[in-house]
Structures are given as C-alpha cells and as structure tokens.
C-alpha cells in the first residue's frame, strides 16, 4: 500500500480512532512520513468497546437509502461516500484478511463478529507502512506554529506540513472522546456547532411504580412517530427498551435528531407509540370493543391482542383512567399512544454526538478555512447518523477525503 517514503514531508494525525487511523493510512500510502498522536494508552478504544456486542461495520441496504440516513447533511456526507462507500468498506476489510457477512437486518459484520482481529490487522499494516504511533500524548492546541502535546515527559511542540484532527465527538469521554478540542478551535475562529447527544436515550419521567416494574423491558416490535420542528412527520418501526428514566434503543436512536430538536425548541417532545404496528386500526378497534364477559380488561387485551407486560404498563402509565376505560379511546391509544419525552440523556452516555466543525467552515478538500493546512475528520465534523454501520462508514469515508486533501495540500497526488 505504500509508495517511496518522502521524509522531507511530514503529516501529523491527532486521534487514534477509526477516522484517525484511516487518515494515517491514506497519508502513508501517499508517501509522506506520518506521526499519529493519541491521549490514551492505546488506539481504537471506543472502536473495540463498540464491537463487543458484534462489530457492525456498514450496511448493505440500497445506496440511495444509505445516503439518506445522514439527514440534513446527506449531500456533504454523500460526497465522501462517493469516494469510499459501503461496498468499498467491505472490500477494504477483506483486504485486511477479515471476511464479512450481511445479517438479516442488512447490517454487515466480520464473520467472527469481533473488532479486535480487524484492529490488529489494521495496525500491523499501518506500522509496516511506516506510521509512527505516539500514545499518552494529549493535544493542547498550538504554540509557535506547532502543535502542543502534554506527554508523560512534559510538553512537546511538534510541527508538520499538514495536520489531520480526528479527535472524536463528546460521548464516552473515558475512552478519549471528551470534546476538549472544541474551544481550542473556536478560539481560532473556527465555526463549531455545540456538541449534543446523538443516538441517545430520552427521559420520560416515569412514575416510580412503572419504573420499578418495567425498567429493562424490551419492546421487540413497535413503531414511533413524531412531528419535527419543520412540521414533517417521522415514523419508524423497530425495537426499543424501557429504562428506569425513559426509553432507548435502535428505534429511538433512529429518530433522536428530530426528538432532540423538538425538546430544544419546545422544552419537550410529544411522540406516539404504536404498540401493535402489524395490526391495522380497524382490527384493534374491533378486538377492544368485542364483548369480554367476566374477564378483566387486562385479560381481554392479552387474549385478543397479545397486550401484556410492559405494553399493558405503558397504557396505564400514559392514559387517564377515563381514557383507559373508553374502548374507542383505548383502541386509538394502542395505535398511537402519546408519550412526552422531557430531555435527552447526558452526552457521555450517548453512542455518538452531533455538532462539531460546521461544513461551512471547511473547504472542498476538508481543510479548515481559518487554519491552512489543518484538516478535520470523523465525529469532529457536524453530521450525525443512526446506528447500523452508518457512523463508522462515514468516519472512514470522511477521513479518507481529509487524508487526500492533506496530500494535495502538501503538493502530492491525492
């Protein structure tokens, strides 16, 4: 993967997550000397933890649908993906000697479902390409035209012909993504959108009784809908989990952005839960209204519609006694149960974050307009996506674009 190393040209990458490692790979392949710095004792810590439940690399859905997952930034992220999309990600992994498969949901995984073998193979290839890794080096900003790092041996100033910053967002701070870079860039006149939680849970302020009985209960099949701040209607079907404070899970994450924006504007977000998305409203209405004889309403709903456990609890939690006793209102609520979400969970609990360096602060090559020779990649840039392989694919693709931009800046072919 390497060309002849040009030791007169040096690039610095700050951040040892997937975006930083990918930028380093591109730079090394371009023939320049590459030094990668990270504050943690080892690279890829968030990558490894995210892969513990099964390393979801990318997604195999149709490309147009894939690009649409990036919402308001689909055009900008789409430009990255045009150079390194889902198929290219799979080919890249295969070249590392790691085979992949497509799961029933369309998600793509390594055949062993693990992140560690992939990371080991990748680091071996990077070291062979000449990339030098410097651990326990925390970036502090700039001084005298160089980058300042706090190291176990004191502060050091390093200089390079180009720099790629890939420091992550502000979720999972204990793994290195603490957002401490945001004020450093803002002080230099870079337009940075506030970092906020994405792919996160939301608080519903349950009653103590409901939380005690149902915290941790999954809803394997449900649908969630809401109207966003622009009046558009969003609806998704999937799975989520009731927590002690609210709701979380893939279905919630898929709609986290419009929920978060409604809360920011209105102080709360009203969503509606369809507890039986595979049943049409007419059938639900008919079954609820069917005579139940001596059976209790709870027994009737369980026998006729399979409503029990947490779904039954949600109906009691979210409906008044009068509404629960009215067959028409109850049937309507089963298909569209109103639930008020009060606040997102803290950003450090989130899977990822939104916000960061706005695309408008970057040139077409990914360079920060206010900082010539400085490029940014990964979650540092203001985009977001749901879980399902979309986050990692965009981090890879954006980092490759930043690396190519840095090579071009240094006067080499990207």
DSSP string, 44-112: -HHHHHHTTT----EE-S-HHHHHHTTGGGHHHHHHHHHHS-HHHHHHHHHHTT--EEE-TTSEEEETT
SS3 (DSSP) at 195: strand
The per-residue pLDDT for 395 is: 96
Domain boundary among 299, 314, 344: 344
Residue 314 belongs to a domain? yes
Residue 262 belongs to a domain? yes
Q: Is 272 exposed, middle or buried (0-12, 13-18, 19+ CB in 10 A)?
A: middle
Domain boundary among 287, 319, 344: 344
**Among 385, 399, 382, residue whose Cα is nearest residue 195:** 382
Residue 1 belongs to a domain? no
The per-residue pLDDT for 7 is: 64
28 and 148 part of one domain: yes
Query: How many CB atoms lie under 10 A from the CB of residue 188?
Result: 14
- Which helix (H) or strand (E) element contains residue 354? strand 352-357
29 and 127 part of one domain: yes
Per-residue pLDDT of 45-56, as tens digits, reads 888 887 676 789
337 and 385 part of one domain: no
Residue 215 belongs to a domain? yes
69 and 386 Cβ atoms separated by less than 8 Å:
yes
177 and 87 part of one domain: yes
Question: Which parts of 297-367 fold into alpha helices (H)?
Answer: 297-305, 309-318, 321-325, 327-335
134 and 264 part of one domain: no
**Among 80, 16, 119, residue whose Cα is nearest residue 404:** 80
193 and 210 part of one domain: no
CATH number, residue 179: 3.50.50.60
Q: What CA–CA distance (Å, rounded) separates 391 from 387? A: 7
29 and 159 part of one domain: yes
Q: Cα-flanking dihedrals φ and ψ of residue 163, to 5°?
A: -130, 135
Residue 107 belongs to a domain? yes
396 and 298 part of one domain: no
246 and 113 part of one domain: no
pTM of structure = 0.90
Handedness of CA 219, 242, 255, 63 (dihedral sign): negative
325 and 374 part of one domain: no
The parent domain of residue 333 ranges over 202-344
Residue 154 belongs to a domain? yes
- The count of domains in the chain is 2
The per-residue pLDDT for 309 is: 95
- Residues of the chain predicted below pLDDT 50: 1-2, 413-414
Domain boundary among 344, 373, 388: 344
Q: What is the secondary structure of 107-176 as a DSSP string?
A: EEEETT--SHHHHHHHHHHHHHTTPEEE-S-EEEEEETTEEEEEETTEEEEE--SEEEE----SS-GGGT
Placement of tokens 């898929």 in the chain: 254
189 and 218 part of one domain: no
278 and 302 part of one domain: yes
Residue 414 belongs to a domain? no
């Amino acid at each position: 993967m390497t060309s002849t190393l040009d030791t007169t040209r040096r690039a610095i990458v700050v951040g040892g997550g997937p975006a930083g490692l990918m930028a380093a790979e591109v730079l090394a392949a371009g023939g320049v000397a590459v030094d990668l710095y990270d504050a943690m004792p080892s690279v890829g810590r968030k990558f490894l933890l995210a892969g513990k439940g099964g390393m979801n690399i990318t997604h195999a859905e149709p490309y147009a649908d894939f690009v649409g997952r990036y919402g308001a930034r689909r055009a900008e992220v789409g430009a990255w993906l045009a150079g390194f999309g889902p198929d290219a990600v799979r080919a890249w992994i295969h070249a590392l000697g790691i085979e992949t498969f497509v799961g029933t949901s369309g998600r793509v995984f390594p055949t062993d479902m693990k992140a560690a073998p992939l990371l080991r193979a990748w680091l071996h290839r990077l070291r062979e390409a000449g990339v030098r890794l410097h651990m326990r080096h925390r970036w502090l900003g700039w001084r005298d035209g160089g980058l300042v790092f706090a190291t176990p041996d004191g502060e050091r100033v390093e200089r390079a012909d180009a720099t790629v910053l890939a420091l992550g967002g502000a979720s999972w701070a204990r793994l290195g993504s603490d957002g401490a870079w945001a004020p450093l860039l803002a002080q230099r006149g870079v337009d940075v959108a506030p970092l906020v939680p994405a792919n996160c849970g939301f608080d519903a302020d349950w009653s103590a009784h409901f939380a005690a009985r149902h915290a941790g209960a999954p809803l394997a099949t449900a649908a969630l809908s809401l109207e966003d701040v622009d009046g558009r209607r969003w609806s998704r079907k999937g799975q989520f989990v009731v927590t002690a404070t609210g709701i979380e899970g893939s279905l919630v994450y898929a709609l986290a952005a419009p929920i978060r924006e409604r809360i920011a504007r209105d102080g709360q977000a009203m969503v509606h839960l369809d507890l039986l998305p595979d049943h049409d409203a007419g059938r639900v209405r008919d079954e609820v209204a069917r005579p139940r004889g001596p059976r209790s309403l709870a027994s009737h709903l369980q026998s006729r519609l399979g409503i029990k456990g947490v779904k039954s609890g949600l109906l009691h939690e979210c409906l008044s006694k009068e509404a629960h006793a009215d067959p028409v209102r109850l049937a309507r609520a089963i298909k569209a149960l109103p639930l008020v979400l009060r606040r997102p969970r803290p950003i450090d609990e989130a899977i990822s974050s939104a916000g960061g360096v706005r695309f408008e602060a970057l040139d077409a090559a990914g360079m920060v307009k206010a900082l010539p020779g400085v490029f940014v990649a990964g979650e540092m840039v203001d985009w977001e996506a749901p879980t399902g392989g979309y986050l990692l694919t965009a981090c890879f693709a954006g980092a490759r674009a930043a690396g190519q931009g840095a090579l071009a800046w240094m006067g080499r072919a990207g």
